[in-house]
């Protein structure tokens, strides 16, 4: 799928009366199902979109989705072009040097996928000498560089997960690494069913893979407390579970670390 032209993507707003000016929530411009994707009309849909709607209602915030290139999200936040990052961004110590994070709102493992019958294992030894695809500027790229590159694996980076999956399906790479939920969506598609299968989750490394996914905010932004309270509230009243049940067969919140 071609990268979406930002000007052609309509923003989806969530309205309340608390603030006169809407808060801009930056979302990576490319499709990332089932979390964030534009539909045929250009409206953003997915689990994170529904989640954001519930958060903004709970916190009485005016919110608007602002598509932004993935590797430009943190610069856009720190320069004031957007107010919050909401794009399945993992909470890591490295990123926390530059921005603040809310409490996590989902936490799922990283997975390796490969062509059917490859027999590859999701370990450094099992992927030695192979070509492994990862999305650029992600925790998965950092993990692959630390664990797989030393075994003579070639790490190939992509601007989008969709481009990575296309190369895997075409046989141009041996394996791909990404979030398990996002890769499950690919494996459930016609293209994914035809070519590929899961080889299992990689061994966790919280220092690299992070402490789950959270909202990214500028350092010291008091909005952090409001978002944390809203996350806690919609989990307590069942809203979070109801939204999750629309997309997943099991809870994706994970454990508090």
- Each residue of 176-187: pLDDT tens digit? 999 999 999 999
Domain spans of the chain, in order of start: 6-107+212-247, 110-208
What mean pLDDT comes out for the span 19-40? Answer: 90
What mean pLDDT comes out for the span 91-115? Answer: 97
Q: Given this model, what pLDDT does residue 2 score?
A: 28
Are 106 and 256 a contacting pair, CB within 8 Å? no
Token readout for 19 is 């603030």
Q: How far is CA 134 from the centre of its chain?
A: 13
- Each residue of 228-251: pLDDT tens digit? 999 999 999 999 999 999 999 899
Residue 215: enclosing H or E segment and its boundaries? strand 213-217
Domain 110-208 classification at class level: alpha beta
Cis bond leading into 230, ω under 30°? Answer: no
Domains 6-107+212-247 and 110-208 share a fold: yes
The CATH superfamily holding the domain 6-107+212-247 is Periplasmic binding protein-like II (3.40.190.10)
Query: What is the reported pTM?
Result: 0.85
């Amino acid at each position: 799928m071609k990268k979406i032209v930002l000007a052609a993507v309509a923003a989806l707003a969530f309205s309340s009366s608390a603030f006169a000016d809407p808060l801009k929530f930056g979302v990576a411009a490319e499709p990332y199902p089932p979390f964030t994707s534009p539909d045929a009309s250009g409206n953003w849909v997915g689990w994170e979109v529904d989640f954001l709607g519930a958060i903004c209602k709970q916190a009485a915030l005016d919110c608007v989705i602002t598509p932004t290139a993935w590797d430009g999200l943190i610069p856009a936040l720190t320069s004031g072009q957007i107010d919050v990052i909401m794009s399945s961004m993992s909470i890591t110590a490295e990123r926390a040097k530059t921005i603040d994070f809310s409490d996590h709102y989902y936490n799922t493992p990283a997975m390796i996928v490969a062509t059917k019958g490859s027999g590859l294992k999701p370990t450094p030894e099992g992927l030695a000498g192979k070509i492994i695809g990862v999305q650029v500027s992600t925790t998965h790229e950092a993990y692959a560089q630390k664990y797989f590159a030393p075994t003579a694996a070639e790490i190939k980076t992509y601007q989008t997960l969709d481009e990575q999956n296309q190369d895997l399906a075409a046989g141009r790479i041996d394996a791909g690494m990404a979030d398990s939920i996002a890769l499950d969506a690919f494996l459930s598609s016609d293209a994914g069913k035809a070519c590929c299968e899961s080889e299992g989750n990689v061994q966790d490394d919280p220092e690299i893979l992070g402490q789950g996914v959270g909202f990214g905010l500028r350092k010291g932004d008091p909005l952090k407390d409001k978002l944390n309270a809203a996350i806690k509230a919609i989990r307590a009243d069942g809203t979070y579970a109801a939204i999750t049940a629309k997309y997943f067969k099991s809870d994706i919140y994970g454990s508090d670390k």
